[in-house]
Structure 1
Amino acid sequence: MHTGSPTSPHNNVVESMSALMNVSGHIDKVMNAQTLEEVKKNRLRHTATIESIHWLCLQGCALRGNDGSSYSKNQDIQKENLHILAERVRKKIREDVGSAKFCLLIDEAKDISDKDHMAIVLRFVDREAFLMERFFDIVHVSDTTAVTLKKEICNVLGRHDLHINIRDQGYDGASNMCGSWNGLQALFLMDSPQSYYVHCFAHRLQLALVAAAEKESSIWLFFSKLNFICNLIKASPKRHIELQFAQAIEIATMVATGIREKDFQVEKLNSRFNDEAVEILRLSSALEPRDNFKLFNADDIYNFAEKFYPSYFNKQELHYLKKTEKARHYHLIDILIRLVLTLLVYTATTKRSFSTMKLLKTSLWNKVEENLLEDSMIVYIEREFTARIDIDSIIDKFYSTKNNWAHLR
Structure 2
Amino acid sequence: MANLRRSPFTDEIEQMDPPRKFSPPHFTLFKGDEDADRHLIYYLFKLEILEQVGNDNFTSKGFHNWKKKCRLRVHVGGPNSAHNQALLHCEALMKQGLSFRGHDESEDSNNKGNFLELLKFLADHNEGIKDVVFKNAPENLKLTSLEIQKDLVYAVACETTNAIMFDIGDVTFFSVLVDESRDVLVKEQMAVVLHYVNTNGQVVERFMGIKHVPNTTAFSLKEAIDQFFSINGLSISRLHGQDYDGASNMQGEFHGLKTLILKENESAFFIHCFAHQLQLALVAVAKNHIQIGSFFCMVNKVVTIVGASYKCQDMVRERQQAKVMEAIQNYELLSGQGLNQETSLKRASDTRWDSHYGTLVSLINMFSSVIEVLEMIVEDGVSLDQRGEADILLNLLQSFDFVSSLFLMKEILGITNVLSHALQKKGLDIVSAMALVKACKQQLQAMRANGWDAWLDKVSSFCGKHDIDIPDMNDIFVARGRSRHKVENLTNLHHYHVDLNVIDKQLQELNSRFNETSTELLLCVACLSPDDSFSAFDIEKLVRLAQFYPKDFSDMELTLLEDELKNYIFDMRLHNEFSALKGINSLAQKLVETKRDRQYPLVYLLVKLVLILPVATALVERAFSVMKIVKNPHRSRMGDQWLNDSLVVYIEKELRH
State the TM-score, normalizing by the size of structure 2. Answer: 0.44
Is 1:342 aligned to 2:577, yes or no? Answer: no
Give, as a single letter, the amino acid of the residue that structure 1 aligns with 2:243: G
Q: Which residue of 1 aligns with 2:526?
A: 285
SS in 1 for 2:192: strand
Q: 2:551 aligns with which of 311, 323, 328?
A: 311
| 8 Å CA contact 1:108, 1:119 repeated in 2 | yes
Change in Cα spacing, 1:125 to 1:72, as seen in structure 2 (3 Å) is same
User: Residues of 1 paired with 2:368 and 2:644: CA distance?
Assistant: 49
Deviation at 1:321, TM superposition (A): 3.6
Change in Cα spacing, 1:377 to 1:321, as seen in structure 2 (3 Å) is same
Is 1:233 aligned to 2:365, yes or no? Answer: yes
| 8 Å CA contact 2:161, 2:208 repeated in 1 | yes
SS in 2 for 1:124: strand
**Within-5 A mapping of 1:11-30:** none
Q: Which residue of 2 aligns with 1:159?
A: 231
Deviation at 1:280, TM superposition (A): 2.6
Q: Which residue of 1 aligns with 2:206?
A: 134
Is 1:143 aligned to 2:275, yes or no? Answer: no
Deviation at 1:254, TM superposition (A): 4.7
User: Residues of 1 paired with 2:287 and 2:275: CA distance?
Assistant: 18
Is 1:256 aligned to 2:333, yes or no? Answer: no
SS in 1 for 2:267: coil
Is 1:107 aligned to 2:179, yes or no? Answer: yes
Give, as a single letter, the amino acid of the residue that structure 2 aligns with 1:176: E
Deviation at 1:350, TM superposition (A): 0.5
Q: Which residue of 2 aligns with 1:176?
A: 253
User: Residues of 1 paired with 2:281 and 2:448: CA distance?
Assistant: 23
Taking only the aligned residue pairs, the percentage that are identical comes to: 34
Give, as a single letter, the amino acid of the residue that structure 2 aligns with 1:315: D
| 8 Å CA contact 1:105, 1:120 repeated in 2 | yes
Q: Which residue of 1 aligns with 2:260?
A: 187
Change in Cα spacing, 1:223 to 1:318, as seen in structure 2 (3 Å) is same
Between stretches 206-215 and 76-85, larger displacement belongs to: 206-215
> Unaligned regions of 5+ residues in structure 2, if any?
1-114, 123-132, 303-359, 370-402, 413-443, 453-496, 572-595
Deviation at 1:367, TM superposition (A): 0.3
| 8 Å CA contact 1:157, 1:163 repeated in 2 | yes
Give, as a single letter, the amino acid of the residue that structure 2 aligns with 1:354: F
The superposition leaves residues 70-91 of structure 1 with CA deviations (integer Å, 9 ceiling, x where unpaired) of: x855122111122111100000
SS in 2 for 1:295: coil
User: Residues of 2 paired with 1:103 and 1:322: CA distance?
Assistant: 26
Is 1:219 aligned to 2:292, yes or no? Answer: yes
Deviation at 1:331, TM superposition (A): 1.4
Change in Cα spacing, 1:125 to 1:141, as seen in structure 2 (3 Å) is same
Q: Which residue of 1 aligns with 2:629?
A: 359
Is 1:382 aligned to 2:652, yes or no? Answer: yes
Give, as a single letter, the amino acid of the residue that structure 2 aligns with 1:290: D
Change in Cα spacing, 1:348 to 1:78, as seen in structure 2 (3 Å) is same
User: Residues of 2 paired with 1:177 and 1:249: CA distance?
Assistant: 34
User: Residues of 2 paired with 1:249 and 1:383: CA distance?
Assistant: 39
Aligned residues: 315
Deviation at 1:232, TM superposition (A): 5.5
Deviation at 1:151, TM superposition (A): 1.2
Between stretches 338-347 and 272-281, larger displacement belongs to: 272-281
SS in 1 for 2:615: coil
User: Residues of 2 paired with 1:80 and 1:232: CA distance?
Assistant: 53
Is 1:210 aligned to 2:287, yes or no? Answer: no
User: Residues of 1 paired with 2:514 and 2:541: CA distance?
Assistant: 19
Q: Which residue of 2 aligns with 1:82?
A: 153
Deviation at 1:262, TM superposition (A): 6.0
Is 1:199 aligned to 2:272, yes or no? Answer: yes
| 8 Å CA contact 2:174, 2:196 repeated in 1 | yes
Change in Cα spacing, 1:257 to 1:264, as seen in structure 2 (3 Å) is closer
User: Residues of 2 paired with 1:96 and 1:194: CA distance?
Assistant: 22
SS in 1 for 2:233: coil
User: Residues of 2 paired with 1:108 and 1:221: CA distance?
Assistant: 31
Give, as a single letter, the amino acid of the residue that structure 2 aligns with 1:154: D
Change in Cα spacing, 1:117 to 1:253, as seen in structure 2 (3 Å) is closer
User: Residues of 1 paired with 2:164 and 2:652: CA distance?
Assistant: 9
Deviation at 1:226, TM superposition (A): 4.2
Deviation at 1:148, TM superposition (A): 1.1
Give, as a single letter, the amino acid of the residue that structure 2 aligns with 1:120: V
Q: 1:325 aligns with which of 550, 567, 577?
A: 567
| 8 Å CA contact 1:298, 1:321 repeated in 2 | no
User: Residues of 1 paired with 2:294 and 2:204: CA distance?
Assistant: 42
User: Residues of 2 paired with 1:330 and 1:125: CA distance?
Assistant: 17
SS in 2 for 1:301: helix
| 8 Å CA contact 1:198, 1:277 repeated in 2 | no
Q: Which residue of 2 aligns with 1:44?
A: none
Give, as a single letter, the amino acid of the residue that structure 1 aligns with 2:288: K
Change in Cα spacing, 1:340 to 1:277, as seen in structure 2 (3 Å) is farther
Is 1:270 aligned to 2:342, yes or no? Answer: no
User: Residues of 2 paired with 1:277 and 1:95: CA distance?
Assistant: 36
User: Residues of 2 paired with 1:134 and 1:277: CA distance?
Assistant: 29
Q: Which residue of 2 aligns with 1:294?
A: 535
Change in Cα spacing, 1:170 to 1:52, as seen in structure 2 (3 Å) is farther
Change in Cα spacing, 1:185 to 1:249, as seen in structure 2 (3 Å) is closer
The superposition leaves residues 304-334 of structure 1 with CA deviations (integer Å, 9 ceiling, x where unpaired) of: 222x212222234323444422259621110
Q: Which residue of 1 aligns with 2:439?
A: none
Change in Cα spacing, 1:312 to 1:130, as seen in structure 2 (3 Å) is same
Give, as a single letter, the amino acid of the residue that structure 2 aligns with 1:204: Q
SS in 2 for 1:197: coil
The superposition leaves residues 29-52 of structure 1 with CA deviations (integer Å, 9 ceiling, x where unpaired) of: xxxxxxxxxxxxxxxxxxx99x84
State the TM-score, normalizing by the size of structure 1. Answer: 0.68
The superposition leaves residues 266-295 of structure 1 with CA deviations (integer Å, 9 ceiling, x where unpaired) of: 443333233488543322111112222222
User: Residues of 1 paired with 2:556 and 2:288: CA distance?
Assistant: 53
SS in 2 for 1:100: coil
